[in-house]
Amino acid sequence: MSKRDYYEVLGVTKTVTETELKVAFRKLAMVHHPDRNPGDKEAEIKFKEVNEAYQCLSDGQKRSAYDRFGHAAFQQGGAGGPGFGNEFGDFMSDIFENFFGEAQAGRGGARGRGGAPGRERGADLRYNLEITLEEAFSGKTETIKIPTSIACETCSGTGAKPGSKARTCQTCAGYGRVRAAQGFFAIERTCPNCHGRGEVIDDPCSACSGAGRLERERSLSINVPAGVDDGLRIRLAGEGESGLRGGPSGDLYVFLSIAPHLFFQRDGADLFCRVPISMVTAALAGEITVPVIDGGQTQVRIPAGTQAGKQFRIKGKGMPVLRSREVGDLYIQVSVETPQNLTKRQRELLQEFDQSASDENHPESAGFFSKVKDFFVSGATRP
């Protein structure tokens, strides 16, 4: 199924302001909220879609990534699935707990939202992955080890000793939450007896002490595509911590950073490299050898009379553009190195050159100083 455009989902234009976005989102979220449409699968899908679109567009950074790359910005080679869905899930349910709290309580507290109590979604995990610019250039497969918890095999994640069963908590009758009147308000809080699980395990599984999961180290192979940039986030759905007592797994977010490079600075797909050349090469012309990100090198011809700061573009020697066939360029910016530690003879040669030099040799400084002179005579500061 192809994903709908986020702006379209929220019924807004690309120029929508933050405030307008929030208003549009609230309206739609209210209409499609599952608590208002019990059992309506389509409303549930719509709600998720609206939620996801808002999470992306309300975040400046994600929005600009989306504007540039579309949905591809948040997906990774098929492993990803829709981005951001769960990161804001908790935040969202906080909002809706406030909006719809009474309706939920009427239908049985926590059970009204997200299935049976006790089943808890596993936590999302974050993994910071630093790669080199060369690796970002060619793409790489990185095997990472993540400490995580997996469902206990002994009790199949139930937390109860095999053959025994958890029993419904009597304090909250299985809702996981209890209500108490406080003045005019009915306050709902997590059940103190079962800690929100809705059930009590009398005979806990010995392998996991009743948690239903075990701590393990897992290795996971991550495919980092060529052209990735600093700050990119890769979401691996379901690769986070496993859920509690049969709950769904969390997601794994890989935050990518790229180590600074010795020669190259990157701007999008283009690379920049500053190369010092000698005063003589700059004056008389020459050829310099410069490094290329693919590991090779290339020749750049320096014409006679090259000034410091001059840039030379080498087409197609930059970074690949993520999920495209385009490639950026390499810019070589030369700096002209003034010779130092001169011998007596070298000094004489330069002085000799200086005596023979005319304004023709230094048109820029000659021009500048004649302008300065004009300024002192007439006060002119405009060309």
- Residue 151 contacts Zn ion per CB under 5 A: no
Give least dist CB 179 to Zn ion, A.
12
Give least dist CB 83 to Zn ion, A.
33
- Residue 152 contacts Zn ion per CB under 5 A: yes
- Angle subtended at Cα 364 by Cα 359 and Cα 366, rounded to the nearest 5 degrees: 40
- Residue 166 contacts Zn ion per CB under 5 A: no
Was 152 annotated as part of a binding site?
Answer: yes
- Residue 150 contacts Zn ion per CB under 5 A: no
Nearest to 254 by CA among 122, 92, 141, 112: 141
Was 56 annotated as part of a binding site?
Answer: no
Give least dist CB 249 to Zn ion, A.
16
H-state helical runs in the chain: 6-10, 18-32, 41-57, 60-69, 89-106, 133-138, 279-284, 344-356, 363-378
Give least dist CB 243 to Zn ion, A.
14
What is the CB neighbour count within 10 angstroms for residue 241? 23
Q: How many residues bind Zn ion (CB under 5 A)?
A: 12
Which one, 155 or 282, has the nearer CB to Zn ion?
A: 155
- Rounded to the nearest 10 degrees, what angle do helices 60-69 and 41-57 cross at? 100
Spatial distance between the Cα atoms of 370 and 383, rounded to a whole number of angstroms: 12
- Residue 160 contacts Zn ion per CB under 5 A: no
Give least dist CB 293 to Zn ion, A.
50
Taking a C-beta distance cutoff of 8 angstroms, is the pair 166, 293 a contact?
no
- Residue 168 contacts Zn ion per CB under 5 A: no
Taking a C-beta distance cutoff of 8 angstroms, is the pair 52, 61 a contact?
no
Nearest to 264 by CA among 294, 288, 226, 286: 294
**Pattern 84-113, Zn ion, x by CB under 5 A:** ------------------------------
E-assigned strand segments in the chain: 125-131, 140-151, 167-168, 177-182, 185-190, 199-200, 213-224, 233-236, 252-258, 264-267, 270-278, 286-291, 297-302, 311-314, 330-337
Q: Which stretch binds Zn ion (CB under 5 A): 111-119, 139-147, 163-171, 330-338?
A: 163-171
**Pattern 203-222, Zn ion, x by CB under 5 A:** --x-xx--------------
Was 169 annotated as part of a binding site?
Answer: yes
Which one, 205 or 319, has the nearer CB to Zn ion?
A: 205
- Residue 172 contacts Zn ion per CB under 5 A: yes
Which one, 155 or 322, has the nearer CB to Zn ion?
A: 155
Scanning residues 174 to 193, which ones bind Zn ion (CB under 5 A)? 191, 193
Give least dist CB 202 to Zn ion, A.
14
Give least dist CB 170 to Zn ion, A.
7
Which one, 205 or 254, has the nearer CB to Zn ion?
A: 205
The DSSP code for 180 is: E
Was 273 annotated as part of a binding site?
Answer: no
Taken in order 289, 292, 295, 299, the sign of the CA dihedral is negative
262 SS3 class: coil
Q: Which of 37, 58, 154, 333 binds Zn ion (CB under 5 A)?
A: 154
Spatial distance between the Cα atoms of 113 and 188, rounded to a whole number of angstroms: 14
Binding region for Zn ion (CB under 5 A):
152, 154-155, 169, 171-172, 191, 193-194, 205, 207-208
